[in-house]
């Protein structure tokens, strides 16, 4: 097979892709809010539109997941296009699990060509945890390698093969990070590797353990990483005892302090959803006081409609008539 030209100057044409309102918000220094949307397990585009509708005037952008938890769903790019059509800025997640480097770079290029302005790259859950446990995993690249590939495509106008791109893509590049995964002392340095590879913003795993997150952020600041990357703290409500036990027992890297556990278990089952929302709103208000935190990333699987109420409780209500800016 003949390879393309070796790496040379970046293509002269303008990078392809729509301007990112998320980038503008992050750079403004105002509190930034993103949310996460799981595409449906079906071919109904209205299911996406219904879930996006309540979020439109409350968040700066919405993540569209990519085979979340290794389950088959409507694709990340299809969901992103539906979000664009609905007037909501998408963040297209892309995982390394199901594609080799050819397909990954092709999907990244396609996102830019279709006007998807933001991407978040991650390694992805192994298929054994999903609805097709016998599926063959790919993992040709890991998240750090894919970040580097994306940055090279955008900033140097070339593929991993060295072949030039004309025009190069122009999206905002994001990553994910888990401040609570062991070894704890390594996590800030791990973020540093992702930033060096190309991450411009990062969305974290759920924050329930505020002291541990505060300590991680101290390490992030000590390394100066908050000056090089915008950090959005992952938050979400625990609305049932079943969800609490699932998070505590089945999701590695999630730390739920005993006091949070006791508080949620200490209310009647009929009140647990409301209590979980209240805890989430309180955590949002507290993480936004931590130096270096630029905003929050709200994850509420199956409860997208409740995100505005949580943000309202946290004091992040916005005016629907002010172009998506904070109400004053």
> Is residue 61 very low, low, confident or very high in pLDDT (cuts 50, 70, 90)?
very high
pLDDT at 128: 82
| Greater pLDDT, 328 or 184 | 184
| Tokens at 211, concatenated | 């002291």
pLDDT at 39 over 70: yes
Region 137-162 average pLDDT: 96
Question: What would the pLDDT profile of 69-123 be if each residue is shown by its tens digit?
Answer: 778 888 999 999 999 999 999 999 999 999 999 999 999 999 999 999 999 999 9
Higher pLDDT residue, 184 or 284? Answer: 284
Write down the pLDDT at residue 1. 42
Q: Taking residues 132-161, what's their average pLDDT?
A: 95
**Among 19, 76, 79, 17, residue whose Cα is nearest residue 46:** 79
Residue 16 has pLDDT above 90, yes or no: no
What is the per-residue pLDDT across 200-245, written as a single tens digit (0 to 9) for each? 999 999 999 999 999 999 999 999 999 999 999 999 999 999 999 9
What would the pLDDT profile of 262-303 be if each residue is shown by its tens digit? 999 999 999 999 999 999 999 999 999 999 999 999 999 889
Identify the pLDDT of residue 94: 96
Check if the beta carbon of residue 300 is closer than 8 Å to that of residue 237: yes
- At 9, the pLDDT band (50, 70, 90 cuts) reads very low
The yes-or-no verdict on residue 170 having pLDDT over 70 is yes
* SS3 of residue 176 by DSSP: strand
pLDDT for res 15: 58
pTM equals 0.90
What does the alpha-carbon distance between residue 248 and residue 227 come to, in Å, rounded to a whole number? Answer: 33
On the 0-12 / 13-18 / 19+ scale of CB atoms within 10 A, 2 is exposed
pLDDT for position 289:
98
Q: What percent of the chain has pLDDT above 70?
A: 91
- CB within 8 A of 46, min separation 6: which ones? none
Q: Give one DSSP letter per residue of 37-66, joined into a string.
A: EPPPSSS-HHHHHHHHGGGTTT-SEEEE-S
Query: Domains in the chain, ordered, with CATH?
Result: 21-237+287-306 (3.20.20.220)
**Which one has a higher pLDDT value, 222 or 185?**
222
**Mean pLDDT, rounded, of the chain:** 89
């Amino acid at each position: 097979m003949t390879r393309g030209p070796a790496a040379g100057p970046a293509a002269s044409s303008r990078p392809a892709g729509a301007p990112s309102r998320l980038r503008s918000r992050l750079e403004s220094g105002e509190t930034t809010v993103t949310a996460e949307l799981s595409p449906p397990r079906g071919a109904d585009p209205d299911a996406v539109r219904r879930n996006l509708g309540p979020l439109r005037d409350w968040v700066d952008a919405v993540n569209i997941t990519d085979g979340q938890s290794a389950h088959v769903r409507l694709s990340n790019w299809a969901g992103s296009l539906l979000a664009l059509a609905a007037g909501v800025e998408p963040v297209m997640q892309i995982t390394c699990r199901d594609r080799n480097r050819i397909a990954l770079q092709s999907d990244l290029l396609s996102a830019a060509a279709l006007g998807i302005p933001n991407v978040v790259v991650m390694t992805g859950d192994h298929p054994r945890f999903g609805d097709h446990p016998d599926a063959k995993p790919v993992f040709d690249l890991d998240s750090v390698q894919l970040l580097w590939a994306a940055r090279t495509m955008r900033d140097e106008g070339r593929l991993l093969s060295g072949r030039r791109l004309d025009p190069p893509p122009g999206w905002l590049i994001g990553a994910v990070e888990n401040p609570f995964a062991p070894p704890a002392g390594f996590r800030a340095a791990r973020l540093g590797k992702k930033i060096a590879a190309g991450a411009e913003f990062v969305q974290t795993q759920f924050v329930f353990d505020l002291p541990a997150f505060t300590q991680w952020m101290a390490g992030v600041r000590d390394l100066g990483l908050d000056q090089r990357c915008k950090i959005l703290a992952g938050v979400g409500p625990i609305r049932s005892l079943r969800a609490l036990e699932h998070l505590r027992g089945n999701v590695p890297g999630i730390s739920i302090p005993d006091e949070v556990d006791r508080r949620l278990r200490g209310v009647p089952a009929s009140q647990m959803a409301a209590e979980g929302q209240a805890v989430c709103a309180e955590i949002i208000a507290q993480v936004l006081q931590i130096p270096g935190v630029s905003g929050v990333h709200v994850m509420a699987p199956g409860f997208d409609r409740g995100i505005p109420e949580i943000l309202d409780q946290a004091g992040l209500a916005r005016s629907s008539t002010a172009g998506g800016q904070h109400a004053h």
